[in-house]
């Protein structure tokens, strides 16, 4: 693989990162509809970030990490809300259902709020999104992104931070990195289940990082 660079997120990265999330979470569809579905997800996460970094090869993103210390500013929220609105419109024009995706995201967010309250984690420090392209896994890229995000959070005064994850993601990664499972909930017996089979909150220890 060509040399990997790391830099702040740019709007020009959205298409490539939407494709990565589309491949991860929207395998039931394909083509442009899959990419747009991924961008809708991405904008939903990005609206709450206070730090975002991408890994790039030849200028093309192959991984991303976002974190939050406190609350994102209104400019960030408005920017990503506008992108989300535009892409939801495109999804509908392609024959998808932005309303259905919105219902899923709303259900996820409610379940996440319940899990966070159950976990007892500090709500001010969050690993918002972490995704690496399949072709780039196992090369240390995710570890580098994670290290940069942890350094940022520690610099903001965090001693711990949390992340939401579930059985539709590679949740095992967080256990392999020694993170603590702080809360979990099963939706396996829900007959009308639209959420993942199990959802989790993991907590990472940041003590000693950057000090």
Local confidence band at 15 (pLDDT 50, 70, 90 cut-offs): very high
Q: How far apart are CA 168 and CA 196, in angstroms?
A: 6
- Which residue from 116, 121, 115 is spatially nearest to 153, judged by alpha carbons? 121
- Which residue from 67, 87, 75, 68 is spatially nearest to 18, judged by alpha carbons? 87
Q: What global pTM score does this model have?
A: 0.92
**Is residue 188 pLDDT above 90, yes or no?**
no
Cβ-proximal residues to 116 (8 Å cutoff; 6+ apart), any chain: 123, 162, 164, 183, 201
Domains, the chain, ordered by start: 4-158 (3.40.630)
**Is residue 208 pLDDT above 90, yes or no?**
no
* Among the ranges given (35-39, 133-137, 177-181), the one the predictor scored with the smallest mean pLDDT: 133-137
What is the average pLDDT across 84-103?
93
What is the average pLDDT across 120-124?
96
Segment 44-88, tens digit of pLDDT: 999 999 999 999 999 899 999 999 999 999 999 999 999 999 999
Q: How far apart are CA 142 and CA 99, in angstroms?
A: 32
Average pLDDT, the chain: 92
**Is residue 139 pLDDT above 90, yes or no?**
no
Segment 70-81, tens digit of pLDDT: 999 999 999 999
Tokens of 37: 């579905």
Local confidence band at 192 (pLDDT 50, 70, 90 cut-offs): low
- Taking phi over 0 as left and psi of -120 to 50 as alpha, with beta for the rest, 178 belongs to left
């Amino acid at each position: 693989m060509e040399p990997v660079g790391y830099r702040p997120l740019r709007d020009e990265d959205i298409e490539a990162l939407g494709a990565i999330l589309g491949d991860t979470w929207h395998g039931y569809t394909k083509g442009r509809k899959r990419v747009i579905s991924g961008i809708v997800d991405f904008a939903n996460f990005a609206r709450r970030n206070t730090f975002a970094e991408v890994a790039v090869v030849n200028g093309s993103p192959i991984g991303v990490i976002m974190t939050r210390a406190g609350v994102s500013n209104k400019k960030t929220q408005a920017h990503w809300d506008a992108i989300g609105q535009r892409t939801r419109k495109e999804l509908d024009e392609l024959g998808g259902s932005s309303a259905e995706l919105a219902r899923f995201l709303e259900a996820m967010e409610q379940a996440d709020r319940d899990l966070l309250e159950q976990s007892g984690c500090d709500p001010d420090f969050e690993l918002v999104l972490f995704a690496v392209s399949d072709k780039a896994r196992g090369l240390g890229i995710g570890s580098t992104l994670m290290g940069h995000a942890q350094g940022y959070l520690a610099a903001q005064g965090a001693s711990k931070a949390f992340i939401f994850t579930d059985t539709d993601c590679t949740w095992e990664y967080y256990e392999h990195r020694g993170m603590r499972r702080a809360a979990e909930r099963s939706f396996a017996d829900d007959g009308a289940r639209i959420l993942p089979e199990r959802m989790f909150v993991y907590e990472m220890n940041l003590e000693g990082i950057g000090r």
